[in-house]
Amino acid sequence: GEDVEQSLFLSVREGDSSVINCTYTDSSSTYLYWYKQEPGAGLQLLTYIFSNMDMKQDQRLTVLLNKKDKHLSLRIADTQTGDSAIYFCAESAGGYQKVTFGTGTKLQVIP
């Protein structure tokens, strides 16, 4: 079955860049997503990338996809304390959009 893995924890200083990594196993993944979950809240879609793209940039967020290695990363430039949250990588191979989520990376931003 599908498997999506992430490191559990990342700590950065305010103003630095954060890079959250994710690996997946399903080679038929069509869409790859990054979701953000703040404490006590639901999941908020940050950005997504189609599998035929290598990179997508959206303001402070940059998503890189290495399809050969099945590796996805999310870079947050100029990280702020408000970026502290759990970040979930997710993938979908289509077919009524069954989405498989990673284990989540807790990002801690130190002032």
Partner 1 sequence: DTAVSQTPKYLVTQMGNDKSIKCEQNLGHDTMYWYKQDSKKFLKIMFSYNNKELIINETVPNRFSPKSPDKAHLNLHINSLELGDSAVYFCASSQASVETQYFGPGTRLLVL
User: How many CA within 13 A on the CB side of residue 51?
Assistant: 16
Q: How far is the CB of 37 from partner 1 (least distance, A)?
A: 8
Q: How far is the CB of 14 from partner 1 (least distance, A)?
A: 24
CB closer to partner 1, 14 vs 106: 106
The contact set with partner 1 (CB under 8 A) reads 30-31, 35, 37, 41-45, 48, 86, 88, 92, 94, 96-101, 103-104, 106
Q: Could you tell me the CA-to-CA distances from 90 to 10, 14, 40, 53, 110 in Å, in that order? A: 18, 26, 20, 16, 26
